[in-house]
Chain A
Amino acid sequence: MILFFLTSGLFLGWSLGANDAANVFGTAVGSKMIRFKTAAAVSAFFVVVGAVHGGSGAADTLGNLGAVNAIAGSFIVAFSAAFTVFWMTRIKLPVSTSQAIVGAIIGWNLFSGSPTDYDSLTKIVLTWVVCPMLSGVIAALLFAVFRFYLNRVKVHLLRVDMHTRLGLLLVGAFGSYSLGANNIANVMGVFVPAHPFGEISFFGLLTLSGTQVLFLLGGMAIAVGIFTYSHKVIDTVGTSVMRISPVVALVVVLAQSIVLFVFASEGLEGWLLSHGLPAVPLVPVSSSHAVVGAVIGIGLVKGGRGIRYGVLGEIGAGWVATPVVAGVITFVALFFLQNVFDQKVYEPRGLASEPVVEQLMSPRETTSEMSVLNGRVSDGGEDSRARASS
């Protein structure tokens, strides 16, 4: 039954692998710089590594937003997000898995009566806005540096090609790691509070915590998505949507990877904090938006011609539409699963923790014990009033 409930997350992982891997290797494969099989193998491996090794940071932020505490609830949250992504993609609306899952979690919060952590929500929404902008700025800077370098250094066309190829492979590996680290939260984040896995040791060499085992499964689902379906998406991304040169592709993927890494790396967060710098929030972001931001950033450096500014409006609309749709679907689906299939979709819990409730309920606790407070005044209350009257 537990494995059945996990399937919605695995499905979400599969669709993420099919769609988002194209952002990392699409242009490289589409422009025939790297063979699909090579790209898929490298991408799958590094997505899994990223998910297991660096996935916890962004997952924690999603956990703060709302801890889905019953596995049937997690199933519905992941399923609704996956369905939203699938449906909005079908009707050709730009969609991001990150936004769908956030909307779905809030839908669960509303249904279960759990409070939504508005600090986390603000952090997440601000990051969505910052992500394409940051990607655009990074891409513009990188592009300017690359152009400066390539225009001045006299390197043979064939050698530039060889270095670009190598660069695309390395950056693709880094991008896949970042994608795994950042986006595994979308796929498996909602299962973290409710999963049944324990620690697993591989021949005493490598020990994975329960959550890491969960992320390993999610990473493998993404990898399957890459191998089975990303080829079709890559064909579109690589050949028709964005007709960009391999060198520009390298810059786009590098900028996107850096952004995803920045929003996923606990190491970077620790380093920034230890140097007294403001930490970057660890939030799952959309790789597609990062790509669009990067392409627009490069377009602006090139003089601003041929940029489809309409895409920005579509992204903005997606920020509102996707979470709302996912939230509504989650709410309805939870109602359905709870009342029709009689499944427990959340563990009821109060605002106070159990020990606190016990303490409050204990018979020793009577109001008479509060008599010690008699006559005591605080600075702002009785005390100030007493002073005013005297």
Chain B
Amino acid sequence: MAILFRSTKALEGQIDDYLDAVSQGMIVFVEGIKDYLAGDQARFGERIKNIGVLESRADNLRRDIENSLYSQSLIPEHRGDVLGLLESMDDVIDTAKETLQQFSVENPYIPEGLNGDFLELARVATQAAETVVAATRAFFRDLNAVKDHLHKTYFFEKEADKTGDRLKRKVFQMEALDLAQKIHLRYFALHIDNIADEAEAVADRLAIYSIKRTI
């Protein structure tokens, strides 16, 4: 029995590490956007490397956790939910990594007047993701606190939508940009906003799983 308790403790640690990786990924994402907007390509390249490492670490941890849950037949009642939760959480960090990658590949031209809007969008979208990470931690340890975090996720997701909308309107009103550039910028606004949408998808799952978890 002691061995089982030890492996449970190790698995608890892995789940925490996984959520840490996603959360750190969000911080790196915002810093990456900041560096890109500042034109610091060297540091931006560093951020892309960092987020890549965090994303693959999260992937490995997720696989290990899922494997342990099924091979040791732990939490049989909830393992399907936990699996779904971790996989949809993976989409959050994946989207963040992909977006930074696209900045690197496509090198979009961002007029200086839009720097503040892009940064704000990145901050709000990642805040949605960070609150859903906190809600997921609460799902494992303190079920009553899940709601306290989820409402923030929904709030930030809506804020991200509004900020994205404002940014796109601003872009399309800029006469100095040609249509190709406008569409290009809209595409990047959409990508950043996607992080908040993925966070909302996790939040929707969590809301249901929390009801299922109450005894």
A-side interface residues toward B, CB under 8 Å? 31-33, 143, 146-147, 150-151, 154-159, 161-162, 166, 245-248
B141 and A155 form a contact (CB under 8 A): yes
B215 and A161 form a contact (CB under 8 A): no
When distances are taken between beta carbons in the complex, the residues of chain A under 8 Å from B74 are: 158, 161-162
B73 and A32 form a contact (CB under 8 A): yes
B75 and A154 form a contact (CB under 8 A): no
With contacts A31-B77, A32-B73, A150-B215 taken as known, whether A157 is within 8 angstroms of B139 at the C-beta atoms is: yes
B75 and A157 form a contact (CB under 8 A): yes
When distances are taken between beta carbons in the complex, the residues of chain A under 8 Å from B1 are: 166
**Complex: A155 Cα to B215 Cα, angstroms:** 14
Stretch at the interface among B5-13, B45-53, B178-186, B191-199: B5-13
Is the C-beta of B4 less than 8 angstroms from some C-beta in chain A?
A: yes
B75 and A151 form a contact (CB under 8 A): no
A34 shortest CB reach to chain B, Å = 10
When distances are taken between beta carbons in the complex, the residues of chain B under 8 Å from A151 are: 143-144
A157 and B73 form a contact (CB under 8 A): no
With contacts A157-B139, A158-B12, A159-B12 taken as known, whether A31 is within 8 angstroms of B5 at the C-beta atoms is: no
User: Can you list 14 A-B pairs with a CB-CB distance of less than 8 A?
Assistant: A31-B77, A33-B76, A147-B215, A151-B144, A157-B75, A158-B8, A158-B140, A159-B8, A161-B8, A161-B75, A162-B4, A162-B74, A246-B76, A246-B77
B215 and A158 form a contact (CB under 8 A): no
When distances are taken between beta carbons in the complex, the residues of chain A under 8 Å from B11 are: 158
When distances are taken between beta carbons in the complex, the residues of chain A under 8 Å from B215 are: 143, 146-147, 150, 245, 247-248
Out of A143, A146, A157, A247, which one reaches B140, CB within 8 Å?
A157
Chain B, residue nearest A143 (CB): B215
When distances are taken between beta carbons in the complex, the residues of chain B under 8 Å from A33 are: 76
B8 and A162 form a contact (CB under 8 A): yes
With contacts A154-B142, A156-B12 taken as known, whether A162 is within 8 angstroms of B5 at the C-beta atoms is: yes
The 6 closest A-B pairs by CB, nearest first: A32-B76, A154-B142, A161-B75, A247-B215, A157-B140, A158-B8
Chain B 125-146 near chain A by CB (<8 Å), digits 1 or 0:
0000000000000011111100
**Complex: A248 Cα to B139 Cα, angstroms:** 19
**Complex: A146 Cα to B76 Cα, angstroms:** 20
B91 shortest CB reach to chain A, Å = 22
B4 and A157 form a contact (CB under 8 A): no
**Complex: A155 Cα to B143 Cα, angstroms:** 10
Is the C-beta of B78 less than 8 angstroms from some C-beta in chain A?
A: yes
Is the C-beta of B57 less than 8 angstroms from some C-beta in chain A?
A: no
**Complex: A166 Cα to B76 Cα, angstroms:** 14
Out of A31, A150, A154, A248, which one reaches B76, CB within 8 Å?
A31
A149 shortest CB reach to chain B, Å = 10
Is the C-beta of B162 less than 8 angstroms from some C-beta in chain A?
A: no
Is the C-beta of B213 less than 8 angstroms from some C-beta in chain A?
A: yes
B61 shortest CB reach to chain A, Å = 15
When distances are taken between beta carbons in the complex, the residues of chain B under 8 Å from A159 are: 8, 12
**Complex: A277 Cα to B143 Cα, angstroms:** 43
A312 shortest CB reach to chain B, Å = 24
Chain B, residue nearest A251 (CB): B215
**Complex: A162 Cα to B69 Cα, angstroms:** 12
**Complex: A146 Cα to B215 Cα, angstroms:** 9
A156 and B77 form a contact (CB under 8 A): no
- The interface centre, meaning the residue of A33, A158, A161, A246 with most chain B CB atoms within 10 A of its CB, is A158
A235 shortest CB reach to chain B, Å = 15
Chain B 66-103 near chain A by CB (<8 Å), digits 1 or 0:
00000001111110001000000000000000000000
* With A151-B144, A245-B215 already in contact, 20 other A-B pairs whose C-beta atoms are closer than 8 Å: A31-B76, A32-B73, A33-B76, A146-B215, A154-B141, A154-B142, A156-B141, A157-B78, A157-B82, A157-B139, A157-B140, A157-B213, A158-B12, A158-B15, A158-B74, A158-B75, A158-B140, A159-B12, A161-B74, A162-B5
When distances are taken between beta carbons in the complex, the residues of chain A under 8 Å from B78 are: 157, 161
**Complex: A154 Cα to B142 Cα, angstroms:** 5
- The interface centre, meaning the residue of B15, B77, B139, B140 with most chain A CB atoms within 10 A of its CB, is B77
Chain B, residue nearest A160 (CB): B75
When distances are taken between beta carbons in the complex, the residues of chain A under 8 Å from B143 are: 151
A173 shortest CB reach to chain B, Å = 14
- The interface centre, meaning the residue of B82, B139, B141 with most chain A CB atoms within 10 A of its CB, is B141
B88 shortest CB reach to chain A, Å = 17
**Complex: A259 Cα to B147 Cα, angstroms:** 39
**Complex: A158 Cα to B10 Cα, angstroms:** 10
When distances are taken between beta carbons in the complex, the residues of chain B under 8 Å from A143 are: 215
When distances are taken between beta carbons in the complex, the residues of chain B under 8 Å from A31 are: 76-77
When distances are taken between beta carbons in the complex, the residues of chain B under 8 Å from A246 are: 76-77
